[in-house]
Amino acid sequence: MCGETEVTVQAGLEPCDPHKTPVLIIGQQKHLAQLSYSDIACKLKSRVTQEIWNHGVKSLQPSPTDTVSLYLNLCSVAALPTKVSRHNTESRAHSITKIVRSQTVAADEEYIVLVCERSSAYASVCAAARAYPLYSRKSSVLKSKRRQKVIIEVVLSGSTSTTLDDDDIRTMKAAIYGLRLAARIVDTPANEMTTIEFLKEIREVGKKLDIVPLVYEGEELRKMGMGGLYGVGKAASTPPVLAVLSHRPEGATKRFAWVGKGIVYDTGGLSMKTKTTMPGMKRDCGGAAAVLGAFYHAVTCGFKEDLCAIFCLAENAVGPDATKPDDIHKLYSGRTVEINNTDAEGRLVLGDGVAFALQDKCCDVIVDMATLTGAQATATGKYHAAILTNCPEMEECCVQAGRSSGELNHPLVYTPELHFHEFASAVADMKNSAADRNNAASSCAGLFIGAQLGFDYPGKWLHIDMASPVCMGERATGYGSSLLPVLFGEYTESQLLKSLAPKLPKIEHISKNNNKNDDVDNNGDMEPVRSATGKSELQDNDYPVHKKSRVQ
């Protein structure tokens, strides 16, 4: 696209003249004070004297942030909040993004200098890059031949800090690409980002990684038994799609699946949204976009285990073929679902996605990510995603990874025995929307997805509802694209990701034989869930393409 901004990162400082190349220096006041004038002089040239630099840093009074101009509006120093609470990130990532957005001067080339401790460098770089979105349809941008370049430079502070090495820089560049890709997809309106166009984005990433995606679409989904994904997307002008990118390195002993909700537009279906709640629903593909960015990031950084990225793509449209309230769909898990709210569609497509991860890919760890519920903002706010998991250790690790990556999250209550009865149906195995939406609505929505695996699923399941963090104001954040590579960083070759990654609980490979796939019935008791076909394997005369994808 014409007028596109290139964002890159490098270690150390490159000499420049702020009159020609603007400079924004950001850090905590204590870290800025540790910089001597000689440390930063190459960025200031003769435009800023030592006296002005010292006076500028001393005059900063962050409350919560503060910025002082050192030379016209072309060279500034900004202080981050002095303190953060235990549920925030030490990097102050959100403040970094806001400062960069407000202080950037949009020159042909400009520098962002981040002064931070090594543990905060990754999140700080991601936060700065987040301030430069890729998507625009402004006439002035489309006509422009100008290409802006932003160079993020990292100066490590602290007595134990060393400079970033080439491996660190490669990891950060992969993170920048992944989050900006995810944000661009989310920012793109549905008249451009249809399911077919999203599929092109998946194929493009696959091409970069030398992976050919596995694709099922339209009527093929119905024949496979994916009643959730097919039912949600069948009324749209472009078909629903299930796409899978599979990374299978030699020596892998574990299988991971990241499943993303990719509703390219959500009208609410026949349970239609209002004129005030429908705008912005182009962002309902944020989970799938994040999974795509995260998959690129992780594989580029040498992910050492089997990793599947599963994309559940559909448009929840209104039309003669649209799913109606009272319809009953059979999901890939074998469960039947009475539709009482067509605007609770994300859990239907993800239900099929996670069941596919279990039944066809036999995954030991399944993560689903989605802009799932408006109630998420009430539960955990606009900065923290809401997480739900069957593993308490995974819950702690995800929160830790959120603080390390700058993509925050906080746990929801996990009590299937108290909440799953909200989906009771007189005519089907369950309804798709809770009877009492004041009873832990975000938890209930997540439990619907988990129920398609079975609440005694022997592997690790993690649900991430990022409905609010998907955007900041009117711009997408690319949330999730950095969180997942950090959460599973110990399984990559990147030393930077390993240093940030939490110690995950022991993961054992599950087999089809020990997968009982049990579930909770409408009364809170345990009852078995059938496979999608009622058989352990498809027969030769049943959908041979689907059979080929089964793990033997």
Residues marked active site are found at: 273, 347
C-alpha Rg value of the chain to the nearest Å: 24
Q: Take residue 516 and report the two structure tokens written for it.
A: 């009982």
77's enclosing H/E stretch is strand 75-79
CB 8 within 8 A of CB 149: yes
Q: Take residue 104 and report the two structure tokens written for it.
A: 């950037």
- 179-387-248 Cα angle (round to 5): 55
- 191 C-beta neighbours (distance < 10 Å), count: 10
Dihedrals phi, psi of 256, to nearest 5 degrees = -120, 145
Residue whose C-alpha is closest to residue 296's, from 285, 316, 311: 311
- CB proximity list for 520: less than 8 A, separation 6 or greater: 416, 417, 420, 451, 455, 526, 527
Contacts by 215-218, CB closer than 8 A, 24 or more apart: 215/241, 215/242, 215/243, 215/244, 216/241, 216/242, 216/243, 216/545, 216/546, 217/241, 217/242
Q: Take residue 326 and report the two structure tokens written for it.
A: 């009272």
Residue-wise over 84-105: b if at least 16 C-beta within 10 A, else e?
Answer: beeebbbbbbbbbbbbbbebbe
Instruction: Match 């209104």 to its residue by tokens.
Output: 318
The C-alpha atoms of residue 49 and residue 31 are separated, in whole angstroms, by 19
Instruction: Match 């944020």 to its residue by tokens.
Output: 286
Residue-wise over 154-175: b if at least 16 C-beta within 10 A, else e?
Answer: bbbbeeeeeebeeebbbbbbbb
CB 409 within 8 A of CB 384: yes
CB 481 within 8 A of CB 175: yes
